[in-house]
Amino acid sequence: MNILIVDDERNIGQTLKSILEDEGYRCVTAGSGRQGLDLLESFSPGVVLLDVQMEHMDGLETLKRMLAADPTLQIIMISGHSGISEAVQAIKLGAFDFLEKPLSLPHVKIAVSKAMQFRALSEDVRRLRSDHKEQYRMVGDSQLMQELREMIERVAATKAKVLIRGESGTGKELVAWAIHQKSRRSSRPFIKFNSAAIPSELVESELFGFEKGAFTGAVKSRKGKIEEADGGTLFLDEIGDMSLSAQAKILRVIQEGEFERVGSNATKKIDARIIAATHKNLEEMVQSGAFREDLFYRLDVVPVVVPPLRRHTEDIPLLLEHFSDTFTRELGVPRKLFLPATVRELSGWKFAGNIRELKNLVERIYILVEKREIAPEDLPVASVSKDDSDKAFWQETAPFIDKKRAFETRYLDAQLTMHNGNISQTAKAIGMHQSNLSRKLKELGITSD
C-alpha cells in the first residue's frame, strides 16, 4: 500500500518515511500541500499523513481538496500547534484520525494500520455494492422494457402492495429490487424469500422465525425473514407455492402488521412493504382452493407484468454484451465476440427459460468454447431450442395446470403476433369476447406491442 507524507518539516517527513518503509509500506514525501495534491494521481496513495500547519496552503484546505479529488483516501492529520477545535474540524471534513506532535511512533504505526484496514474494508463494501448493483441491473432498450421501467417508477413512489407476474426466468426479482431501490425504503433491507426453494415444513419457521425449543433442533431463538425486512421490503418470490397456513399468516401481516414467531404467543409488530411474484395462474388456484382469495386481492393491488424474452428479442444484443461483461469478470477469461450471424440466430430462438436461459447459454459458451469469436455453429443445444422445441414441449411431464398455462401462453402469444398485437381482431379470430381475452392476456403476462 502506498503512503503519502505531506509535511513542510523535511526531517519529520523523512523520519516517518523511514519508519513506515520498515513496516513494508511504499512511501513518498511532499513538502507542501500543492506538491501533495500533484502526487495524488501519479503515486495513488491509499493513506496520507498530512501536517496541519503549512505555508501557502494549510492542512485543512489540502484535506478538503484531496478528498474532493479522491473520496476513498484515508487521511491522518498531524500537528504540534493545533487545538481541539482544529482536530474536530478535520474529522468533520473527513479525516480518518488526528495525531499530535511530538509524534509517538507506535501510535503512528497503529493509526496507519487501522487506516489501511478501514480502506480495505471500504473497498470490499464498494465492490460488493457494485457487484450487487450489476447483478440487479435491468438490461434492455426495447419499448416493452421502457414501459416496464415507467411502471416501476410509478409503483415505487407509492406504498401499494405489488404482484409481479411473468414466466420463469423473465427477471421478476430484478423488478422487485428496482421498486425497492426507487422507493423511500431504499436505505432499508431488501429481504428475499422463495417459497418454492424451501421445504414446506420449514417455510413458516424461516419466514416468521422461531423461539428456542419450538421444535427439535431449535437450540436458540432466531429472527425470520419478516423481522429482517422491518422498515424495508419483503419480496415473496413464487408465492403460489406457499402453503395455505403460511398464506393466512402473511395475510395477517398485510392487514394488521403483526405476527408471532413459531413456538411463541408474543405478538410482534412489523412495518415492511410486501412485493410478491409468481409465474402461476393465481386466479385458477383461487378457484381450486389452492390459494386464498382474500390474500390474492390484498396482493394484487398493483399488478406488474414482466414480458417474456420472445416479445422483446431486440434486447438480445444488449443482453449478450451484459452477460459477456459478467462472465469475463467472474471467470477471469478473455472477452468473446458474438458474431452478427450468431446474434441473428439467437434472436430467432424461443428461449422458453427466457433471460435466465440466455444467461446460462452464455456462461456455458464461456466455459466450454475456446474460440474468441462465437459463430452460429458454436451455439450448444441449438436443435433443442429450435427444431425440437415443439417435440420437447409435448413430451415434457409437468403438472396439468402448469402445462395448460404454458399452452395458453404460447397459443395466445402466437395469435396476438399474427394479428399485429390487435386484441380486438385476435378475439374475433379465436372466438373470444374481447374483455375475456384482455383478462386472460393479463393473467398470462402477455402484452400487446
Torsion of CA 225, 228, 233, 238, to 10 degrees: -10
pLDDT number for residue 5: 93
DSSP 377: G
pLDDT of residue 384: 44
Say if CB 175 and CB 304 are below 8 A apart. yes
Q: Is 241 helix (H, G, I), strand (E, B) or coil?
A: helix
Length of the chain: 449
* CB within 8 Å of 294: residues ≥ 6 apart: 251
- Cα separation, 201 vs 164, in Å, equals 25
Domain 397-444: state its class: mainly alpha
**Quick one: which H or E segment has residue 233?**
strand 233-237
CA separation for the pair 319, 355 (Å, rounded) = 8
Spell out, as residue ranges, where the chain has pLDDT lower than 70: 81-83, 125-135, 381-398, 448-449
Question: Of 1.20.58.100, 3.40.50.10490, 3.40.50.10470, 1.10.8.60, which CATH number belongs to 320-389?
Answer: 1.10.8.60
pLDDT of residue 215: 87
> In the chain, where are the structural domains located?
2-127, 143-305, 320-389, 397-444
- Compute the Cα dihedral for 314, 319, 322, 325 and give only its sign: negative
The pLDDT tens digits of the residues spanning 41-70 come to: 888 899 999 998 888 888 899 999 999 998
**CATH superfamily, with its number, for domain 2-127:** Response regulator (3.40.50.2300)
Reported CATH class of domain 143-305: alpha beta
